[in-house]
Amino acid sequence: MTADTPIKGPTSIVNALREVVGEANVLTSLNEAAAYLTDWTRQFSSEALAVVRPGSTDEVAEVVRICSAHNIAVVPQGGRTGLCGGGVPVAGDPSVIVSLTRMNAIRSLDETGRTVVAEAGVVLETLQDAALTNGLIFPLMFGAKGSCTIGGNLSTNAGGSNVVRYGTTRELCLGIEAVMPDGSVINALTGLRKDNTGYDLKDLLIGAEGTLGIITAAVFKLFPAPSARATVFLSAASLESAIAVLNRLQDHTGGGVEAFEYMPQPAVDVIRKVFPDIRSPLENPAETGILVEVASSRPADAEEMEDGSIRLNSDVMELLADCMEEGLVLDVMVAQSEQQRNDLWRMRESILEAITESGPAYHLDISLPLAQIAPYVNEMDAQMAQLGFQPLTVGHLGDGNLHYALSAAEGRVWEELPLEGAKQKVFALLTRLNGSFSAEHGIGQSKLPVMAALKEQTQLAAMHAIKRALDPSNTMNPGKLLPPV
Amino acid sequence: MTADTPIKGPTSIVNALREVVGEANVLTSLNEAAAYLTDWTRQFSSEALAVVRPGSTDEVAEVVRICSAHNIAVVPQGGRTGLCGGGVPVAGDPSVIVSLTRMNAIRSLDETGRTVVAEAGVVLETLQDAALTNGLIFPLMFGAKGSCTIGGNLSTNAGGSNVVRYGTTRELCLGIEAVMPDGSVINALTGLRKDNTGYDLKDLLIGAEGTLGIITAAVFKLFPAPSARATVFLSAASLESAIAVLNRLQDHTGGGVEAFEYMPQPAVDVIRKVFPDIRSPLENPAETGILVEVASSRPADAEEMEDGSIRLNSDVMELLADCMEEGLVLDVMVAQSEQQRNDLWRMRESILEAITESGPAYHLDISLPLAQIAPYVNEMDAQMAQLGFQPLTVGHLGDGNLHYALSAAEGRVWEELPLEGAKQKVFALLTRLNGSFSAEHGIGQSKLPVMAALKEQTQLAAMHAIKRALDPSNTMNPGKLLPPV
């Protein structure tokens, strides 16, 4: 196959697709389509009949109808920043990739109702900027914000750092427009806070990873922009102490904790090894390091700093002083400028790259009830050390989500380590403590085996029944999310 | 049929049910069962083979299996406080009522994770009290709190006065345990804030009014108890002004508005006619009266009053003074004691009874995007007056939910008024302005015609497909929520 050969497959379908979206928006040569065939992880890449880039909801619907009629798999695609391979075709299936990136309009923004209607292809950061221009925020926040799209965020129910205050994408979304597997369109962009008229189709499609239809647009809640913020790195006495501090902070600020990120010393060490210019926030090692951000839109909470920047007033500092006196907190570093705040967040956001650079690792995206976090981490860290692993853990501690990565301990060779046995221990304890094996990344292709092994059979059966009912020909993103029966 | 005759139907099924739940928990005489055959509205009453009161999830599952095997309708029932007839059998169907009231255990309360696991039969107020005992609140709040049950709240996705801050029942629930139509059980009482492992079955069952299964228990979020509160009755210059005040208050308090209730003068008048001891909060009539409650858990916000009670500090009062100066607010009455606060809330909660006592009325439970509330109310009030109606409207303005009731205008006779024409106008404008015809009460039996007329066909088709997939024998609460195809 040369770079100019059609990727694969029948000309008649490609011609039909061209009639719908225009010649320029059907990519069939490998040259043009290569970028769409793999994702950020580079673990999943495959082939497709074509990449189609519809420019409207009607075009999406028509494309879905054509593919359904020809029994061709439809693979909806956003910014390709997913971590489980949900946005690229499964090798072997004749597939059409439907890239939503041309549907990138912000259709309307309602300042009174504090809502915004955005199409699936809008980049998250673009939506954040549009909100800020109106004195509001769209609080979804994570590393991929500059390239991920709203449609992908919805389909994976993306989470990130601010879930502790504002919820996941699901909780931010008030309504959707979607193309169903038969090409019919659901128009539910209502922006209502209360609407009890039948089954909750919105939440069924959110997090369904494109297997039940294609979300083409959504209404989201917007929030008042904080007028002041405190960003703090603290060393907690233990994970239990950290969670006690979290609850104290929540009470004290009326739920103002925007981020509460776990950054223990081993994670800071690996970051500093790969990025030597990043400095440790505290002089002494922080076994239980926590990056905390508290914010408020209350004018009375804003205090001007020496460099002219605005910071949260001293309330929070007084509480942290109390926590130190009580022994819950060992040390605190308060960001004194926007620069120091950015440095702390740069450190937090460097961890995935740092681990990847440092050598092979197995990444977990788990969540636990808050009260089970400490027992879990303490027991797992000990067990993994015994097996020769160095756990490199960070996480959104405020919402119980840990990114728990296993790397080879100093002096150990990755290939010789008992990874399968380690996984079994990790998941066994997770199940025992009522945890989730996929907190915010979803299932895609990579987590199908663990989904098959750990998800309750009754729930899997209900999911399969729903999939068969809404997509009887199994056209929509097959081979994702649901393990084969 | 005498009071001691079995209600109806085959002895073999009744015997099988008795074996599962015990003789005392299968009611078959009209004497015993009468209360279960109707609900609070007294509009829906019918007959049943038996009322069964299971004491455990396993018993619920066994009851469902028996009914399914005999093709008998299962009608799950809570506190019978629903307003649309969802909890009583449809006349004519051979039905078994499954009352969840014996499953009333609070299984556990996690102070660290701030969650509680409650069974379906727990009365809402009981759950509120259990939370308060632990210094936390369960913020779901409405008039029926002393008799409605958690299971009914979930099945109807109940709303109420505090949704503006804490969300509906759906948003308060983190996980469920449920018996599916085939008698299998979903165990998902995990209490996780993030869990992306497949389709969102929890939200599918919430609000499904028992038509897809029976929720037997749930995990809920709890919140810090406010340490201080300000309760205010204000007269806004207009509905537009009221919504501007709402947004200003939200910014100013960091989202601390707990209730923002619309109480215009006609509603206050009808309350005072029926309950003469209730006093108008303000001297002058308030065309756009609003009952506002703002609360905070921040210690710094608490200020002791002369009578020893605690009130929110003066921040909010300063903002309201600004709003008066700008002409958004015409007058303000601040509750100076717990007694005055209770008086304001008693007034708010008397409205339904007052309307009912005053004469015939047609009740609507609608919601609109905030920006459409004023255009809607202004146009509808004018149109309804022209037709001879007096609208008696109250509502949870903060979340866009209006309880818009049509009564006969002074000097007009209800029976002679063009109700059907009025309904058509009400719904036509609602549809045009992207509103919902059932904000928080659900569909049940009474709203099936409007559901059939107004809900988008694509959405109805998807709902029917899901219902057929999960309940192929149509055993679970048939004749509710979904209009016949």
pLDDT score recorded for residue A9: 55
pLDDT score recorded for residue A60: 98
In A2-150, which ranges are E strands? 26-27, 50-52, 73-77, 95-99, 106-110, 115-119, 136-137
The rounded distance, in Å, linking the Cα atoms of B265 and B283 is 12
Give the H/E segment covering residue A450.
helix A448-454
CB-based contact (8 Å) between A351 and chain B? no
Long-range contacts of B428-431 (CB under 8 A, 24+ apart): B429/B376, B429/B379, B429/B380, B430/B366, B430/B368, B430/B376
> In the structure encoding, which two tokens stand for residue B149, read together?
């049950």
Residue of B nearest to A430 (CA): B190
The rounded distance, in Å, linking the Cα atoms of A176 and A189 is 5
Query: What is the least distance, in Å, from the CA of A328 to any CA of chain B?
Result: 15
B274 pLDDT higher than 90 = yes
- A414 and A326: one domain? no
Give the H/E segment covering residue A202.
helix A201-205
- Contact between B53 and B99 under an 8 Å Cβ cutoff? The reply is yes
- A143 and A171: one domain? yes
pLDDT score recorded for residue A5: 45
Local confidence band at A2 (pLDDT 50, 70, 90 cut-offs):
very low
Local confidence band at B328 (pLDDT 50, 70, 90 cut-offs):
very high
- A334 and A391: one domain? no
Structure ipTM:
0.95
A417 pLDDT higher than 80 = yes
The rounded distance, in Å, linking the Cα atoms of B409 and A396 is 58
For residue A311, list its beta bridge partners: A303
- CATH of residue B387's domain is 3.30.70.2740
Residues 287-326 of B with CB under 8 A from A: 296-301, 315
B250/A195 Cβ within 8 A: no
Residue of A nearest to B439 (CA): A195
Residues 155-174 of B with CB under 8 A from A: 156-157, 159, 163-164, 168, 170-171
The rounded distance, in Å, linking the Cα atoms of A360 and A353 is 12
pLDDT in tens, A51-61: 999 999 999 99
A390 pLDDT higher than 80 = yes
B206/A200 Cβ within 8 A: yes
- B317 and B405: one domain? no
A449 in any annotated domain? no
- CATH of residue A76's domain is 3.30.43.10
Q: Among residues B441, B364, B450, which one has the least CA distance to residue B84? A: B441
Residues 381-400 of B with CB under 8 A from A: 396, 399-400
Q: Residue A63 in 3-state DSSP?
A: helix
B377 in any annotated domain? yes
- B175 and B271: one domain? no
B9 pLDDT higher than 60 = no
Local confidence band at A30 (pLDDT 50, 70, 90 cut-offs):
confident
- CATH of residue B311's domain is 3.30.70.2190
CB-based contact (8 Å) between A485 and chain B? no
- A160 and A132: one domain? yes
CB-based contact (8 Å) between B464 and chain A? no
- Contact between A288 and A242 under an 8 Å Cβ cutoff? The reply is yes
CB atoms within 10 A of CB B431: 13
Measured at the CA of A254, the angle between CA A252 and CA A256, to 5 degrees, comes to 95
Local confidence band at A435 (pLDDT 50, 70, 90 cut-offs):
very high
Mean pLDDT of chain B: 94
Residue of B nearest to A249 (CA): B298
B188/A114 Cβ within 8 A: no
- A345 and A252: one domain? yes
Q: What is the 3-state secondary structure (H, E, C) of chain B?
A: CCCCCECCCCHHHHHHHHHHHCHHHEECEHHHHHHHHECCCCCCECCCCEEECCCCHHHHHHHHHHHHHCCCEEEEECCCCCCCCCCCCCCCCCEEEEECCCCCCEEEEECCCCEEEEECCCEHHHHHHHHHHCCEECCCECHHHHCCEHHHHHHCCCCECCHHHHCCHHHHEEEEEEECCCCCEEEECCCCCCCCCCCCHHHHHCCCCCCCCEEEEEEEECEECCCEEEEEEEEECCHHHHHHHHHHHHHHHCCCEEEEEECCHHHHHHHHHHCCCCCCCCCCCCCEEEEEEEEECCHHHEEECCCCCEEECCHHHHHHHHHHHCCCEEEEEECCCHHHHHHHHHHHHCHHHHHHHHCCEEEEEEECCHHHHHHHHHHHHHHHHHHCEEEEEEEEHHHCEEEEEEEECCCCCHHHCCHHHHHHHHHHHHHHCCCECECCCCCCCCCHHHHHHHCCHHHHHHHHHHHHHHCCCCCECCCCCCCCC
- Contact between B215 and B310 under an 8 Å Cβ cutoff? The reply is no
- A218 and A240: one domain? no
A6 pLDDT higher than 60 = no
A397 pLDDT higher than 80 = yes
A69 pLDDT higher than 50 = yes
Question: What average pLDDT does this structure show over A352-371?
Answer: 94
Q: Among residues A53, A59, A1, which one has the least CA distance to residue A30? A: A1
> In the structure encoding, which two tokens stand for residue B283, read together?
């001297």
B333 in any annotated domain? yes
Residues of B in contact with A212 (CB under 8 A): 199
pLDDT score recorded for residue B272: 95
- B219 and B117: one domain? yes
| Sign of the Cα pseudo-torsion (B223, B228, B233, B236, in order) | negative
Query: What is the least distance, in Å, from the CA of A173 to any CA of chain B?
Result: 12
Residue at a domain's end among A99, A130, A157? A99
A450 in any annotated domain? no
- Rounded to the nearest angstrom, the gap between the alpha carbon of residue A282 and the centroid of all alpha carbons in its chain is 29
Question: What average pLDDT does this structure show over B210-218?
Answer: 98
Buried b (16+ CB within 10 A) or exposed e, A316-333: beebbeebbeeebbbebb
The rounded distance, in Å, linking the Cα atoms of A380 and A391 is 9
- B239 and B215: one domain? no
CB-based contact (8 Å) between B282 and chain A? no
Residue at a domain's end among A327, A351, A375? A351
B2 pLDDT higher than 70 = no
Question: What average pLDDT does this structure show over A354-375?
Answer: 95
Residue at a domain's end among B415, B432, B449? B432
Residues 414-443 of B with CB under 8 A from A: 434-443
Residues of B in contact with A243 (CB under 8 A): 112
Question: What average pLDDT does this structure show over A443-447?
Answer: 96
Instruction: Enumerate residues 6+ apart whose C-beta is below 8 A from A60.
Output: A54, A98, A100, A103, A179, A214, A216
Local confidence band at A40 (pLDDT 50, 70, 90 cut-offs):
confident
Name the DSSP class of A36.
Answer: G
B203/A436 Cβ within 8 A: no
Q: Which among B180, B194, B206 is the top mutation candidate for probing chain A, defined by the most A β-carbons within 10 Å of its own β-carbon?
A: B194
pLDDT score recorded for residue B341: 93
pLDDT in tens, A266-288: 999 999 999 999 999 999 999 99
B308 pLDDT higher than 80 = no
How many domains does chain B fold into? 4
B460/A196 Cβ within 8 A: no
Higher pLDDT, B306 or B5: B306
Percentage of chain A beyond pLDDT 90 is: 85
CA distance between the termini of chain A: 35
Residues of B in contact with A368 (CB under 8 A): 192
B5 pLDDT higher than 70 = no
> In the structure encoding, which two tokens stand for residue B421, read together?
């024409």
> In the structure encoding, which two tokens stand for residue A346, read together?
């740069």
Residue of A nearest to B316 (CA): A298
For A194, the closest of B163, B197, B297 (CB atoms) is B163
- CATH of residue A189's domain is 3.30.465.10
Q: Which among A83, A154, A155, A193 is the top mutation candidate for probing chain B, defined by the most B β-carbons within 10 Å of its own β-carbon?
A: A193
pLDDT score recorded for residue A212: 98
Long-range contacts of B25-34 (CB under 8 A, 24+ apart): B25/B52, B25/B53, B25/B54, B25/B55, B25/B102, B26/B50, B26/B51, B26/B52, B26/B53, B27/B51, B27/B52, B27/B53, B29/B3, B29/B4, B29/B5, B30/B1, B30/B2, B30/B3, B30/B5, B31/B3, B31/B4, B33/B7, B33/B97
- A411 and A375: one domain? yes
CA dist A56 to A68, A208, A217, Å?
18, 21, 10
**Which residues span the domain enclosing A308?**
228-351
Residues 444-463 of A with CB under 8 A from B: 451, 455-456, 458-463
The rounded distance, in Å, linking the Cα atoms of A134 and A444 is 36
A3 pLDDT higher than 80 = no
Query: What is the least distance, in Å, from the CA of A416 to any CA of chain B?
Result: 31
Residue identified by tokens 């929070």 is A316
- B219 and B233: one domain? no
Query: What is the least distance, in Å, from the CA of A252 to any CA of chain B?
Result: 5
pLDDT score recorded for residue A15: 94
- Rounded to the nearest angstrom, the gap between the alpha carbon of residue A73 and the centroid of all alpha carbons in its chain is 25
In A241-388, which ranges are E strands? 257-262, 288-296, 302-304, 310-312, 329-334, 361-367
pLDDT in tens, B171-182: 999 999 999 999
Local confidence band at A128 (pLDDT 50, 70, 90 cut-offs):
very high
Pick from A356-365, B309-318, B372-381, B421-430: least confident: B309-318
pLDDT in tens, A326-352: 999 999 999 988 899 999 999 999 998
Question: What average pLDDT does this structure show over B440-458?
Answer: 96
Mean pLDDT of chain A: 93
Local confidence band at A473 (pLDDT 50, 70, 90 cut-offs):
very high
pLDDT in tens, B59-110: 999 999 999 999 999 999 999 999 999 999 998 878 999 999 999 999 999 9
B306 pLDDT higher than 80 = no
A204 in any annotated domain? yes
The rounded distance, in Å, linking the Cα atoms of A259 and B317 is 31
pLDDT score recorded for residue B62: 98
pLDDT in tens, A176-213: 999 999 999 999 998 999 999 999 999 999 999 999 99
- What is the side-by-side strand order in the sheet with A257-262? A329-334, A228-236, A288-296, A257-262, A389-396, A401-408, A361-367
